[in-house]
Structure 1
Amino acid sequence: MNDFISASNNLLWGSILIYLLLGAGILFTIRTRFVQIRRFGLAARTMMGSRRTHSDLHISPFQAFCTSLAARIGTGNIAGVAVAIYLGGPGAIFWMWLIALLGMATSFAENTLAQIYKTNNGDGTYRGGPAYYMQKALGQRWMGIAFSISLIIAFGFAFNSVQSNSIAAAFTGYNIAPEYIGIGLVMASGIIIFGGIRSIAKVAEMIVPFMAVGYLAVAVVIVAMNIPELPAVFTLIFKSAFGLETAMGGGVGYMVSQAMMQGIKRGLFSNEAGMGSAPNAAATAHSTHPVSQGMMGMLGVFMDTIVVCTATAAIILVSGMLEPGSGLTGVALTQAALSSEIGPWGGHLVALAILLFAFTSIIANYYYGESNLLFIKNSKTLLMIYRLAVLVMVFWGSVGNLPTVWAFADLSMGTMALINITAILLLSGIVVKVLKDFDDQIADGVVPVFNRKKFPFLDKTMDKDVWQEHNAGEAQSCPIPEADVRPATE
C-alpha cells in the first residue's frame, strides 16, 4: 500500500500537476491581462476597507480572507521553506516567488468562480467552492463529489492530524505530554468549530493578522540586524536559481533543476493556488462583485509566499546556519537560525509561531471539509459525525506517528487539485467575462456591482437566491477606494 501511494504521488506531483499548475498560472495570467499586477494595488486597498458588512449576519470579505489565510499559513511556511532551501539551495526561493506570481492569477480565477456559484444558507451566510461550480456551471455533480471526498480526506482529516502533530512536536522541550497537548487542542478547536462559520471567521480575523504581522516583524528585526549582508543574500538567491555560482564547475543543470523543483513544489504546497481549497472560504463572503473576492485570493497567495515564506527564508539565509549535507533542515533549521540571531528566545518564538499557524489551519481546514460534506449531503447527523471525527484526528495526530498519513494526504490533495484545475480551465471564459464587467465599471467611474442579468448563462446556472439585483442598493461590503474610481466621461 505504501509503495502504491508513493508511486502515485511521484506520478501526480512529479509528472502531471507541476506542469498543469504552471500552465494554468500562465494561461490565467495572459487571459486576465496580468490581473495580479495591474489590480494589485486596488486589491490591497479594497482588502483594507472590507471589514464591514451590510449586516452582522454576513461574513465580511476580510473575514473570508483571514479564514483562507488561516489554512494557507501553516507549518509549511516554517518547515517547508527550510526543506526547500536545504534540498534546492537558496535559488529555490526565486522559483517560489515565480510560482506565487503565476499562482496569484490562478487563485483569482478559482475564488471568483466560488463567489459566482455560492449557495445561500438562508441565515445570512453562504457556502461554496469548486464542488459547487463543478455541479452548477459544468453540470457534473460526480466531479464535485469526487473533489469533495478528496478534500475531506486531505484537509478535514489528514492535514489536521499533521498540524496537531507539529504542535505537539514543537512543545516536546517544555515537558508537556503529547496527550495533554491533544486534549487542549481538541477543547479549543471544538469550541470554535461547533460555533460554525461565523465563529471560525471571527477567530481567524483576530488571530491571523496578529500572527502574520508578528512573524514578519521578527524577520524584519533580524534582517535589520544584518543589513550589510542583505545584498549578498539576494545575489546568492538569483545566482543559485540559475546556477551562476557553479558555472565554473560541474552539475549546473542538476543544481538548477533541484532549485526549480523544490521551489515550485514547496510554493504550490504552501500557497495552494489552484488546489481548490481557498475558494471554500472565498464563497462565504458577502461581496458586491465576485471579482472583489477574487482579488482577495490573489492577496492570499502573495501574503503566504511572497511575505511569510520570504520572511522564513530571510531568517535562515542571513543567519548563516544553512549548511548543505549537515542534516539540519525543516523546523530545526529555522529554529537554529532564529536562536543564532536572538538567542534562546528563538526556540520559543518558533514554538509560538507553529502553535498559531497550525491551530488556525486546523479550524479553517475543518470548515473546508464541512462545506464539502454539505455539498454531498446536507445532514445534521453527518455533520455531527464529521465534527467528532475531526476532533478525534486532531487528538490522534498529537500522539501518533504520521508518515503514511502525510503521504496519503499528498495523494488526496493532488487528486483534488487535478480535478479543480480541469474545472477552472473549462470555466476560464466565465472568469474573463466577469473580470471585464468589473474593469468596465471601474473605467466608467462607478463602484462595481454584479448584475446577474447581464450574463444569461450565469443567470441560468446560478442559484436563484444569490446575486440578486437588489444588492445594488445595499451598503457596500467590499468598497472600492475612491481613488480607484475615475469620474465618468461623456
Structure 2
Amino acid sequence: MLSEINDFLNNLIWGNILIYLLPLLGIFFTVSSRFVQFRYFFKMFNILRDTVHDKEGHISSFQALMLSVAGRVGGGNIAGVAVAITLGGPGAVFWMWIIGLIGMSTSFFECSLAQLYKEKDGIDSNLYRGGPAYYVTKALGQRWLGIIISILLMITFGFAFNATQSFIITTSFESSFSIPTWITGIALTLVFAFAVFGGVRRITKISEVIVPIMALGYLLIAIVVIGLNASEIPSLISLIVKEAFSPSSAIAGGLGAVILQGAKRGMFSNEAGLGSAPNVAAVAYVAHPVQQGIVQSFSVFIDTIILCSCTAFIILLSGVYTPGISGVDGVLLTQNSLIEHIGPLGGYFVTIALFLFGFSSILYNYYLAENSLNFFSKGNRLYFTLFRIFVAALIIWGSLQDLGSIFSFADLSMGLLAVINMLVIAILYKPVLKLIKGYDRQVKEGKVPVLRYNDYHEFNIDKKIWKEIVDNINDKKNEE
C-alpha cells in the first residue's frame, strides 16, 4: 500500500504538476528578465576570470560552479538520457534542449536569491551559507517552511541519493572489473571521508579538479565519436528536430511521450528550480548576486546542452538503438553504443566516467545535506562530525542494497521540494528583477557591478555581509 501511495504521489507531482510548473515559470522568468540567460551568456567567462576572492580563503565563483556542476552532472547524464531516448525516441533530445535553455533562467533566479539572502557560516566567518531554507525564512519570514525544506534536502540528497550513487558505482565496478561491491563501497567511503572531514573548502578543491577532468574527458570521447561519424551529423540533427514534432509510430504514446521524456530528462538532469543548486551558489564570494546567477545558469548549459547531448549523439550515431525496442536501456545502452564506436575500451570508459560522475555527485549531495544541517545547528561541530560519520555509513550500506524503493521515495521528497521552491521563487521574483536592473545600470555606467545594498531597504538582507564584501573589493581597487 505504501508503495502504491508513493507511486501515486510521484505521478501526481512529476507528471501533473512539475511537468507544467517548471517550464511555465521558466518561460515567465525568461521573459520578465528580458532573456537574461542569453543576454549575459558570454559575460560568464569574464566573471569566472575576474571574480575576486581574498587571501583569507573565500570560495571563488569558479569553485562554487564546479561543485554545482558536480551535482548536476551525474549518472543521469549517462543513463538518464538513454532512458529518455528509449521511451521518447530521438525527438526527446530536442525537448531536453528546450527545457535546458528555459531552465537556465530559473537557475539564475533561485541562485541570485541565494546570494542576496546568504549569511555567514556558524564556524568559519570566511564562509557563507544560503539556499531555499534561508531565503524563505528571511524574505517571507516563514522559518517553519525553511525547516521543511531543510528536512526534504537532507532526506533526498544526503541520505537517499548518496546511498543510490554508491549502489550505482559499486555495481558498475562489479560488472566491469569483478570487484565485490563491499570492497568498492569501503574504498569509496574512505575517499569520501577524506573529502568531507576537510570541510567545504576541501570539497570545493576536490570538485574543481574532478569536474573538469570528467566533463572534458566525456566531451572528448563524444567529439571522437562525432568526428568518426561527421558526415551523419546534419541528418541526425534533422532527425532529432523532425521526431520532436512528428515522432515515429514505433514510439509508444506519440508526441506526448516525446515531450514528456525530454522534459523529464532535462528537469532531472539540470535540477533548475529543484532547490538544490542555490545552496551551493550562496557559498561563492562575489561582488553582486547577479554574477553568481549568471555563472550558475551556465552550469545548466554545461549539463543539459553539452554533456547530455554527448550521450545522445553517442547513442543515436550507433546501431545499438532501435526505435520502439526497450530491451536495452540505461547505462547498458550507452555502454554498448560506445563499445560499437571505439571498441571494448568504451565499456571501461563508461564505468570510470560513472565513478567520477557518481563520486562528484556524492560530494555535492553531502554538501546540500550539511547546509541543511547548518540551518538547524548553526555550526555545531559535534553535530557535523556525527552527521559525516552517519552519511559515510550510508555509503557503505548503499553498496549492499537494492535501492529501487528508496530512490522512488527520494523522487517524491525532491518533487515536494521543487514545488515549494518554485512557488517561493515566483513570489520573490521582484527582488531578482531589481538585482538585474541594478546590475544593468552599473554595466551601462561602465562600472564593475557591486551590490548597492542600501538600495534594498525593503528586503531583509544581511547588509553587514555585503558591506564587508563591497568594502574589501573597493580597498583592493584602491591598492591597484
* TM-score normalised over the length of structure 2: 0.95
The alignment covers a number of residue pairs equal to 471
2:126 alignment partner AA: G
Tell me whether 1:236 sits opposite 2:239 in the alignment.
yes
| 2:164 aligned residue | 162
Q: Output the CA distance in 2 between the equivalents of 1:89 and 1:252.
A: 6
Gaps of 5+ in 1: 480-490
| CA drift at 1:103 | 0.4
Do the aligned partners of 1:68 and 1:278 also contact (CA within 8 Å) in 2?
yes
1:390-441 residue CA offsets vs partner (Å, 9 max, x unmatched): 1111111111100101101100100111111111111000000011100110
1:218 alignment partner AA: I
| 2:357 aligned residue | 357
- Within 5 Å, which residues of 2 pair with 1:191-340? 191-243=194-246, 246=248, 254-323=253-322, 324-340=324-340
- Within 5 Å, which residues of 2 pair with 1:394-409? 394-409=395-410
Q: Output the CA distance in 2 between the equivalents of 1:257 and 1:129.
A: 34
* TM-score normalised over the length of structure 1: 0.93
| 1:111 aligned residue | 111
Q: Output the CA distance in 2 between the equivalents of 1:252 and 1:418.
A: 30
Do the aligned partners of 2:453 and 2:463 also contact (CA within 8 Å) in 1?
no
**Which residue of 143, 146, 154 corresponds with 2:145?**
143
Measured on the aligned residues, the alpha-carbon RMSD in Å equals 1.7
| CA drift at 1:127 | 1.0
Secondary structure class of the residue paired with 1:327: coil
Q: Output the CA distance in 2 between the equivalents of 1:363 and 1:262.
A: 28
Q: Output the CA distance in 2 between the equivalents of 1:87 and 1:251.
A: 10
Gaps of 5+ in 2: none
1:454-481 residue CA offsets vs partner (Å, 9 max, x unmatched): 11113xx11243111662452799x9xx
Secondary structure class of the residue paired with 1:59: coil
Q: Output the CA distance in 2 between the equivalents of 1:251 and 1:57.
A: 56
1:423 alignment partner AA: V
Q: Output the CA distance in 1 between the equivalents of 2:238 and 2:192.
A: 43
| 2:190 aligned residue | 187
Q: Output the CA distance in 2 between the equivalents of 1:263 and 1:153.
A: 26
Q: Output the CA distance in 2 between the equivalents of 1:31 and 1:334.
A: 39
Do the aligned partners of 1:288 and 1:476 also contact (CA within 8 Å) in 2?
no
1:434 alignment partner AA: L
Do the aligned partners of 1:24 and 1:425 also contact (CA within 8 Å) in 2?
yes
* 1:476–1:161 distance in 2 versus 1, CA, 3 Å: farther
Q: Output the CA distance in 2 between the equivalents of 1:322 and 1:373.
A: 44
Do the aligned partners of 1:451 and 1:469 also contact (CA within 8 Å) in 2?
no
Tell me whether 1:97 sits opposite 2:97 in the alignment.
yes
Do the aligned partners of 1:316 and 1:334 also contact (CA within 8 Å) in 2?
yes
Q: Output the CA distance in 1 between the equivalents of 2:97 and 2:117.
A: 30
1:192-217 residue CA offsets vs partner (Å, 9 max, x unmatched): 11111101011111111111011101
1:225 alignment partner AA: L
Do the aligned partners of 1:53 and 1:476 also contact (CA within 8 Å) in 2?
no
Q: Output the CA distance in 1 between the equivalents of 2:195 and 2:472.
A: 34
Tell me whether 1:88 sits opposite 2:88 in the alignment.
yes
Q: Output the CA distance in 2 between the equivalents of 1:304 and 1:354.
A: 15
Q: Output the CA distance in 2 between the equivalents of 1:299 and 1:206.
A: 18
Q: Output the CA distance in 1 between the equivalents of 2:118 and 2:21.
A: 26
Q: Output the CA distance in 2 between the equivalents of 1:107 and 1:3.
A: 32
| 1:57 aligned residue | 57
Q: Output the CA distance in 2 between the equivalents of 1:329 and 1:441.
A: 50
Q: Output the CA distance in 1 between the equivalents of 2:400 and 2:259.
A: 35
* 1:281–1:475 distance in 2 versus 1, CA, 3 Å: farther
* 1:469–1:382 distance in 2 versus 1, CA, 3 Å: closer
Do the aligned partners of 1:57 and 1:123 also contact (CA within 8 Å) in 2?
no
Do the aligned partners of 1:219 and 1:312 also contact (CA within 8 Å) in 2?
yes
- Within 5 Å, which residues of 2 pair with 1:112-127? 112-121=112-121, 122-127=124-129
Secondary structure class of the residue paired with 2:160: helix
| 2:10 aligned residue | 9
Secondary structure class of the residue paired with 2:238: helix
378-387 or 303-312, which moves further after superposition? 378-387
Q: Output the CA distance in 2 between the equivalents of 1:205 and 1:83.
A: 29
Q: Output the CA distance in 1 between the equivalents of 2:283 and 2:182.
A: 34
Secondary structure class of the residue paired with 1:412: helix
2:231 alignment partner AA: P
Do the aligned partners of 1:54 and 1:475 also contact (CA within 8 Å) in 2?
no
| CA drift at 1:253 | 9.7
1:124 alignment partner AA: N
Secondary structure class of the residue paired with 1:445: coil
2:48 alignment partner AA: M
Tell me whether 1:414 sits opposite 2:415 in the alignment.
yes
| 2:179 aligned residue | 176
Do the aligned partners of 1:449 and 1:472 also contact (CA within 8 Å) in 2?
no
Do the aligned partners of 1:115 and 1:290 also contact (CA within 8 Å) in 2?
yes
